[in-house]
Amino acid sequence: MSDEEDDIILSELSDDELVDQMMDDLYDGLKDEIMEAVNILLERSWEPYDILTRPLVGGMTIVGNDFRDGILFVPEVLLAANAMKGGMSILKPLLVETGAPTIGKMVIGTVKGDIHDIGKNLVAMMMEGAGFEIVDLGINNAVEGYLEALDKEKADILGMSALLTTTMPYMKVVIDTLKEQGKRDDYIVLVGGAPLNEEFGRAIGADAYCRDAAVAVETAKSFMARKHNRAPS
């Protein structure tokens, strides 16, 4: 099989074959091949948004499903997400130029006192792979940082992560502050991290607890669909 793989010249593939090949390459985490293929499709006058949605989001959807079903594991997903990032680095400026729609915008960060970020990074990458715009605040975020970013970025979703039982309660501080300021209903609040569960998510007033990155993507998509279907106020 490897000999055949070596013989594949991306530029000689038809559009449909190239899209299929990109989905395979994304699954295998081949960043250079993804970047080359993105450039080939751009040369063939593909719209940046179509390249994002068909081969890239399409490919990451398969990665997400296989991660959820235990076929792929974190290292493979990180490789796929890194390949996706390579493609996105070319497409992002073009998408901004063309004013292409994104599904939604998410501010994400690990809460104050917590410096764990592998899970958060995975969620951020998978969300970006699904077509969301991501503002990653990194680790150790105080309530003011979250609120400032939500406001400045006009975000739809707030994602908070915690890996320590001692930092979990800080999520409630952020949500309570949003309530006090009358802004709680402006945002979809998703929480995650190893020690959390659905009961905790409900207790602190989050919209949903997401046990992993694949669930986070599915949950965010369904909430955004509902949001867009609401009558404008």
DSSP letter for 52, please.
I
Q: What is the C-alpha to C-alpha distance for residues 84 and 41, in angstroms, rounded to an integer?
A: 15
Radius of gyration over alpha carbons of the chain, in Å? 19
pTM for the full predicted model = 0.77
Name the strands in the sheet holding 133-136, side by side, starting at the edge strand that comes first in the sequence: 133-136, 105-110, 157-161, 188-192, 208-209
Q: Which whole-number Å values give the CA distances from 30 to 24, 37, 99, in the listed order? A: 9, 11, 28
Note the pLDDT tens digit of each residue in 91-137. 988 887 877 777 899 999 999 999 998 889 889 988 988 889 999 99
Task: Identify the structural domains of the chain with CATH numbers, from first to last.
Answer: 2-98 (1.10.1240.10), 105-229 (3.40.50.280)
How far apart are the C-alpha atoms of 191 and 211, rounded to whole Å?
Answer: 9
CA distances from 122 to 39, 128, 205 (A): 26, 10, 24
Candidate from 5-9, 21-25, 120-124 with smallest mean pLDDT: 5-9
Q: Which helix (H) or strand (E) holds 202?
A: helix 198-204
Above 90 in pLDDT, residue 65? Answer: no
List all residues 6 or more positions away from 223 whose beta carbon is below 8 Å from its beta carbon: 157, 188, 207, 208
β-pair type (133-136, 105-110): parallel
pLDDT of 44: 98
pLDDT interval class at 6 (50, 70, 90): low
Instruction: Provide the pLDDT for residue 150.
Output: 98
Look over the chain and give the mean of its residue pLDDT values, rounded to a whole number: 91
- As given in the structure block, the two tokens for residue 88 are 């996105």
The answer to whether residue 231 scores a pLDDT higher than 90 is: no
Q: Which residues contact 98 (CB under 8 A, 6 or more apart)?
A: 47, 48, 49
Amino acid symbol at 28: D
Task: Supply the pLDDT for residue 230.
Answer: 58
Q: What's residue 30's pLDDT?
A: 97
Q: What share of the chain is helix, strand, coil (3-state, %, to 5)?
A: 60, 10, 30
Per-residue pLDDT averaged across 178-186, rounded?
Answer: 97
